[in-house]
Structure 1
Amino acid sequence: MDLKFIQIGAGPANILGEAVWIIIGLITIFAGIKNLLDKENPSRIGTAVFWCSFGVVCAFGTWLPAKVSGALVIVMCMPPIFKRVKVGKTNAPTKEYTKSQYAKIGMKIFIPALTVAVCSLLFALFTNISSMVGVTVGVIISMLILRAYSPDNKPKVFLEGSERFLSMMGPLCMLPQLLGALGGIFTAAGVGEVIAGIVENVVPKGNVNLGIIVFAIGMVLFTMIMGNAFAAITVITVGIGGPFVLAYGADPVVIGMLALTCGYCGTLCTPMAANFNIVPVAILNMKDRWGVIKNQVVVAGIMLVVQICYMIIFK
């Protein structure tokens, strides 16, 4: 039974998705211009080049020639390589202001955050529109709720707050897009077939249990390299899962579902999954840069063993 009751044509749905990327790009360009004009930023030009290049690719990449987008990506990567992306002046609220606002709002402060999650879920379940559009709609509704909470929450506050969090994350925010593209490149380049040739010398044909173990561990290792389980599963399924597990009658639903969660175990253990493991360090100003990963490694190991056992039992 199809749960989606709001069907929108591919054209309008794509337009909404492009509109979201334009909004993201414009905010990113704003971050570049703000830092360029910020005399307190020790590397104004490098920071502006990075954020503006990133913003142009996000906002207008659909219409730019591929070579132009590629050139902008190269330009974008130069400032981070030479460590010329810095944080300038921030407009963070004071602790006193934060405490006074919490005294007025209380636990209702969580309603805007839940609104974003609920909108994303509703769009994913009941429409054929990207959940990213749902997140954007949720953010807009949350902004209206926050505005109702306090007249201090003007559009300028949201815009400067977006720039502040972008600056806190820095160049790490471009990793998800680059790693996702890398997964497509690996698949097109035939990396899966190369992996299959290597594994063929280790896993005897027909030994499904050993194939499952290698498949699961391969998902973990490749996700640690890629930083993204979705990018890894295509390559590893072509190279290991298909020829050494699924080809011998294993249930593709069980194997596919759990292979992906095995990849998530790798996500818990890698700095390449920057939005999960490095960005929180920056936002929370943690002293130990590897603190998040250190606290997740043991959990990841336990989860991996359990999932391998589950796949072997229910294959």
Structure 2
Amino acid sequence: MIRVQYVYDLVGLILVLSSLYTFRDRANPRRITTGLFYALYGLAFILADVLPSFVLGLVVIAIVVLAGFGGVRTGSYGEAEAADREASRARLGNRLFIPAVLIPVLTVAGVEGLSRIHVGALPLLDPANVTLVALGIAAAIALIVAWAITRSTPVVSVREARRLIEAIGWAAVLPQMLAVLGT
């Protein structure tokens, strides 16, 4: 059975890998605390089903303290020059939208199709979280398609994930943190 925890593990892995880039970013004056923030956030995803609620609550409090005392800052990302970005945009054209369109299409297909499939006595997808598991599978497939279209690598994806999550900032984690504290 494909469990929802596998989706959380993948998200957590991306956050932990992103935090490693943050720790190495000498242009970020708060690279240690920012890296720690995203590492703890990623570990909360990965270890949520094995950590006692009390320990997970302490991790959440540490995350809140790091953000609340100004420990989270955006870093330096080594973005491509405007001319390089424009050349890439011209080369790829509307094909850039294919991965974005694939996610909802494959999610619906997964919910409607894969939710009925059983392997032996077990359902293929976690029956309690069919939509979230289908979304995770769709996102993974869309990522692979994006790599093929752009001729990019997983390393570039992790760097871009870091740029996006840091651009959103600590507010991106607020809903999950409130849910954990509620638990």
TM-score range, shorter chain: 0.7 to 0.9
Structure 1 residues 139 and 45: CA distance shift in structure 2, 3 A:
same
Letter of the structure 1 residue corresponding to residue 73 of structure 2: K
Bigger shift: residues 125-134 or 72-81: 125-134
Deviation at 1:180, TM superposition (A): 4.0
* Alpha-carbon distance in 2 for matches of 1:158, 1:37: 17
Instruction: Tell me if 1:162 matches 2:148.
Output: no
Normalised by the length of structure 1, the TM-score is 0.50
* Alpha-carbon distance in 2 for matches of 1:92, 1:134: 32
Aligned match of 1:188:
none
Instruction: Tell me if 1:110 matches 2:87.
Output: no
Structure 1 residues 93 and 120: CA distance shift in structure 2, 3 A:
farther
* Alpha-carbon distance in 2 for matches of 1:142, 1:34: 24
What does the per-residue CA deviation read over 1:135-164, in whole Å, with 9 as the maximum and x for residues that have no partner? Answer: 22222222332233233x111111111111
Structure 1 residues 33 and 65: CA distance shift in structure 2, 3 A:
same
Deviation at 1:93, TM superposition (A): 3.1
Aligned length, in residue pairs: 170
Aligned match of 2:147:
147
Deviation at 1:168, TM superposition (A): 0.7
Letter of the structure 1 residue corresponding to residue 23 of structure 2: L
CA contact (8 A) 1:25 1:59 kept: yes
CA contact (8 A) 2:2 2:133 kept: no
Deviation at 1:86, TM superposition (A): 0.5
* Alpha-carbon distance in 2 for matches of 1:57, 1:148: 31
Deviation at 1:181, TM superposition (A): 5.0
Identity in percent: 24
Deviation at 1:61, TM superposition (A): 1.1
CA contact (8 A) 2:56 2:180 kept: no
Partner SS, residue 169 of structure 2: helix
Letter of the structure 2 residue corresponding to residue 76 of structure 1: I
Name the structure, 1 or 2, with higher relative contact order (CA <8 Å, separation 6+).
2
* Alpha-carbon distance in 1 for matches of 2:28, 2:45: 24
Aligned match of 1:91:
78
Tell me which of 110, 121, 134 is aligned to 1:123. Answer: 110
CA contact (8 A) 1:21 1:59 kept: yes
CA contact (8 A) 1:91 1:160 kept: no
Query: How is 1:183-262 mapped onto 2 (pairs within 5 angstroms)?
Result: none
Letter of the structure 2 residue corresponding to residue 169 of structure 1: I
Long gaps (5+) in structure 2? 116-124
Aligned match of 1:214:
none
Partner SS, residue 46 of structure 1: helix
Deviation at 1:175, TM superposition (A): 1.8
Asked which structure has the greater CA Rg, the reply is 1
CA contact (8 A) 2:60 2:180 kept: no
* Alpha-carbon distance in 2 for matches of 1:137, 1:94: 33
Aligned match of 2:175:
176
Aligned match of 1:237:
none
Letter of the structure 2 residue corresponding to residue 166 of structure 1: I
Aligned match of 1:282:
none
Query: How is 1:56-67 mapped onto 2 (pairs within 5 angstroms)?
Result: 56-67=43-54
* Alpha-carbon distance in 1 for matches of 2:60, 2:155: 29
Partner SS, residue 50 of structure 1: helix
* Alpha-carbon distance in 2 for matches of 1:44, 1:29: 14
* Alpha-carbon distance in 2 for matches of 1:56, 1:181: 13
Letter of the structure 2 residue corresponding to residue 80 of structure 1: A
Tell me which of 52, 73, 88 is aligned to 1:101. Answer: 88
Partner SS, residue 79 of structure 2: coil
* Alpha-carbon distance in 1 for matches of 2:141, 2:84: 23
